[in-house]
Structure 1
Amino acid sequence: MATIEALLKQADLPDSPSPRLDAEWLLAAALSKPATYLRTWPEREVATEQAARFAEWLARRRRGEPVAHILGRQGFWSLELEVSAETLIPRPDTELLVETALELLPATPAAVLDLGTGSGAIALALAAERPGWRLTGVDRIDAAVALAERNRQRLGLGNVQFERSDWFYALGRQQFALILSNPPYIPDGDPHLDEGDLRFEPSSALVSGRDGLDDLRAIVEQAPRFLAPGGWLLLEHGFEQGTAVRQLLTQRGFVAVDTRRDHGCQERVSLGCWPLPERQGERRHA
């Protein structure tokens, strides 16, 4: 039997951007241990069955399959979520949406909407942090709604619900203090779609028209009908789309428009406040 150290040294993932980290995640999962176990006990021998599972997973990773899909789970914020090929894999950049939402609203009761919820990552992270908030997550894909609900049940969060809706279509006259979304924002034909993990993710959750802004335009246009006065709209977007999204928000009538940068110092989340009625009147008579 091979040791943990030997298996990691033999792991060959030439096309992975993080080969050692990927190998550690896969081996730790094969052993049903945390990654720290590998560094604490590198001389431990690995059972034949576990080594075979690790070898199978390495082969899948060499073919480009994302680690999250191989393991069926992904960490996001403080949560571990079930993931599938029907939704986007939650990414660290999207945690900026959660951070910004927590900064904008107090912990007092509030209604919050997550558009295009996918695995439910954003809504569930906020539900865990703000027990007094009432979260709604919507997605137009039935499999995504079912996945988000499974995550909700496993985490035991009772202040969030998931529904099927194509953006705002099924929400009636509901109003929210905060609406946030990580919508599709990659331009059609972008070469990155043929690279890395994106090859294995649903194009419907990635691509949004020739300039990548079709869904962002739709959300900005429709959101005011579902925002309470003084409510906020938060949108994740591509690192080169900040200027365009700020313009969309300003032209629609949002105030306090701003953009936040992610941990890579790239413009990632733009936001705007739907003004109170007196502010709306000021804008009309300006």
Structure 2
Amino acid sequence: MTAIFIDGGAGTTGLEIRERLASRSEFSFITLEESRRKDQKARHEALNNADIVILCLPDDAACEAVAMIENPATRVIDASTAHRTAQDWIYGLPELTKGQRERIKSARFVANPGCYPSGFLSLVRPLTEAGVIPHDKMLTVHAVSGFSGGGRKMIEAYQQDKPVSAFNAYGLTLNHKHIPEMKYHADLAHSPIFAPAVAPCYRGMLVHVPLSLADLRKKVTLADLHQILATHHQDSVTIRVQALAETTEIKQIQIEHCAGSDRMELFVFGNEKNGQALLVAALDNLGKGAAGAAVQNINLMSGCDETAGLRL
């Protein structure tokens, strides 16, 4: 039985992870009473007695927790931003590239991906690997998330009785915390121009990457882009690339398209005549964008079925 300690388990992501693992007989849980959650001695014991620690903490607190781990057998999944581009951490997106799943299985330190980057990288990394998107291409990313992605304060603000705007753009300084991992793991020379927004729904996410076909390194069609994505993700258990024949019938996609699930769906839209493509990823910001991704990594690291406990 694998002993799990969720440090920061009272937060949104921690609660979602615990819910997905609650009925699993393969795991036992190390828990701290409310009065001991910030007790350093109690946390130190829990961190070092666990087989797998999941950190659902702010960046500084996550780094502090890692520094407290002295047991070489304790393995860590960090859901914060702190270690997503660190050289000695494995990026926890199994579908990122060939061999990533095996790296996660054997890793001691795994950085759980951000929600927006999960969608962006699932669309873009296959195309940079195939040499279609140039290394020095400046990409634009438009995305919208359910308000649960903003944490407790944003959830409380949106759940108040006062009217809330239907669409709130943010990250207007173009310095969002997810940009470094998007650039790094997509193998891009320049940071993408990232324009995120929040909608008044609890969960769900859409990530859009528009492309001008004329700006790509190789002459490709929409069918070529689709084939590259489909081939890259053909062994994935959580990512589905929708058939082109189906996407031509779609007139709109709701932000809640994958809400309540731990899967991601990818779409290739476009206008061949105008030489334009629109790549879209639909996921749940709390599912494949957070807790679902963490459970998928826990499964890989503990030798369980990769889909166990996931809502697909």
TM over 0.5: no
Q: Which has the higher contact order (CA 8 A, sep 6+)?
A: 2
Which of the two has greater helix per residue?
A: 1
Structure number with bigger Rg: 1
Interval containing the TM-score (normalised by the shorter chain)? 0.3 to 0.5
